[in-house]
């Protein structure tokens, strides 16, 4: 199977690409930077719809179609609304929400032909808001709504799964002020374990769908 993965050069995206490869499937990575692993890839800034669409089309045509898309790319801009520069705030929405929609839209012709699957990546903060994270929460609440609407729209044509992960041990928290980093008590998940839940969803037969998956550290406070 040809699996297109956004954000596949790091974090959950990379873990998913590696899990897909180990499964014997073909990972196709879209990211703003080249992956260190020798995965087929296209460079694109998901905040730019044209770049996102071109990357999807390029990889799909090169691979001879798509069987699934996993939208794992995501960014954040921590701080109170009055303190986060407007451009930074807007970019979170553009990458996390609009970039997700752009990638899925571009992939739909291929996925419809293959009766493929979409797995979007939201967050526990897409269900439960947190102070100083208005951009991230807005984007991930949007991904939740987008995905639930998409599942209704595409039923019987393309499988749709909403992944709602809690915190993971990735570079996502690097460079943040200490107040915005998870404490040691959070016990964050290994992204490789979360990636296995994506593989599980992708491996279901046509017509059998894992509609939503909440996967979070047992001691993290973001859920429930």
Give 5-34 pLDDT, tens digit per residue: 999 999 999 999 999 999 999 999 999 999
Question: Which of 66, 83, 35 has the alpha carbon at shortest distance from 159?
Answer: 66
Active-site annotation, residues: 136
What's the rounded Cα separation, in Å, for the pair 111 and 24? Answer: 19
- Per the structure block, which two tokens stand in for 129? 């808001």
Identify the CA nearest to 4 among candidates 153, 194, 198. 198
Q: List the helix and strand counts (H, then E) for the chain.
A: 6, 7
* 3-state DSSP assignment of residue 108: helix
Q: How many Cβ atoms from other residues are within 10 Å of residue 2's Cβ?
A: 22
For the cut 70, the answer to whether the pLDDT of residue 185 exceeds it is no
Q: Per-residue pLDDT for 89 more than 70?
A: yes
Measured in degrees and rounded to the nearest 5, phi and psi for residue 189 equal -75, 150
Which of 115, 103, 222 minimizes the C-alpha distance to 165? 222
Quote the mean pLDDT of the chain: 94
Structure confidence at residue 158 as a pLDDT band (50, 70, 90): very high
- Distance, CA of 43 to CA of 34 (rounded, Å): 7
Confidence class for position 168, pLDDT limits 50, 70, 90: confident
Could you give the strand order of the β-sheet that contains 68-71, starting from the edge strand earlier in sequence?
A: 40-43, 26-31, 2-6, 68-71, 117-121, 159-165, 212-215
**Beta strand 117-121 pairing with 68-71:** parallel
Rounded to two decimals, the pTM is 0.94
């Amino acid at each position: 199977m040809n699996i297109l993965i956004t954000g596949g050069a790091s974090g959950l995206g990379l873990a998913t690409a590696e899990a897909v490869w180990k499964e014997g499937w073909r990972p196709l990575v879209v990211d703003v930077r080249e992956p260190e692993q020798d995965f087929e890839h296209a460079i694109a800034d998901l905040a730019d719809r044209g770049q996102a669409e071109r990357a999807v089309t390029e990889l799909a045509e090169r691979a001879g179609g798509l069987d699934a898309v996993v939208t794992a790319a995501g960014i954040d801009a921590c701080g109170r609304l009055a303190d986060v520069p407007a451009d930074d705030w807007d970019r979170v929405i553009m990458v996390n929400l609009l970039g997700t929609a752009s990638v899925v839209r571009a992939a739909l012709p291929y996925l419809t032909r293959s009766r493929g699957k979409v797995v979007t990546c939201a967050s526990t903060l897409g269900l439960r808001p947190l102070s100083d994270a208005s951009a991230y929460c807005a984007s991930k609440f949007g991904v939740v709504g987008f995905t639930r609407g998409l599942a209704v729209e595409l039923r019987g044509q393309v499988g749709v799964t909403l992944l709602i992960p809690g915190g993971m041990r990735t570079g996502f928290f690097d460079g943040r002020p200490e107040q915005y980093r998870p404490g040691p008590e959070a016990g964050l998940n290994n992204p490789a374990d979360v990636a296995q839940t994506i593989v599980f969803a992708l491996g279901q037969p046509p017509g059998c769908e894992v509609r939503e998956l909440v996967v979070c550290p047992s001691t993290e406070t973001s859920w429930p």
